[in-house]
């Protein structure tokens, strides 16, 4: 969204992050339930796995992949194509 416009790539980034954080919300809810039942070992494993910023890193990696796709599409368009990958053009 650096150009000031919101496009399909930006939407893809947000969708990826939304799914990751929905998963995190569910895991945190389950962790709290296990804590209430004194299942400390399971709660510790779950909270450690999800509390270390892993979802944030995955979200950022997804954004980077989408940005690379945007740049590749721009390069193909500059080379005289329509911006689509050659395999996509074969499908019509």
* Integer Cα distance of 64 and 5 in angstroms: 17
* Integer Cα distance of 81 and 52 in angstroms: 43
- Residue 72 forms part of a structural domain: yes
Q: What's the number of domains the chain is made of?
A: 1
Name the DSSP class of 60: H
- Residue 33 forms part of a structural domain: yes
- 89 has pLDDT over 70: no
- Asked whether the beta carbons of 20 and 59 are under 8 A apart, the reply is yes
- Residue 34 forms part of a structural domain: yes
Range of the domain at 39: 8-78
Structure confidence by residue, pLDDT tens digits, 5-54: 777 777 877 887 788 778 778 777 887 888 888 777 777 666 666 555 56
């Amino acid at each position: 969204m650096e150009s000031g416009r919101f496009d399909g790539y930006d939407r893809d980034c947000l969708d990826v992050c939304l799914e990751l954080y929905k998963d995190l919300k569910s895991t945190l809810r389950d962790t709290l339930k296990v804590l209430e039942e004194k299942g400390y070992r399971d709660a510790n494993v779950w909270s450690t796995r999800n509390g270390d910023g892993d979802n944030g890193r995955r979200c950022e990696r997804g954004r980077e992949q989408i940005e690379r796709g945007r740049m590749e599409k721009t390069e193909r368009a500059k080379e005289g194509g329509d911006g689509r990958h050659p395999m996509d053009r074969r499908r019509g």
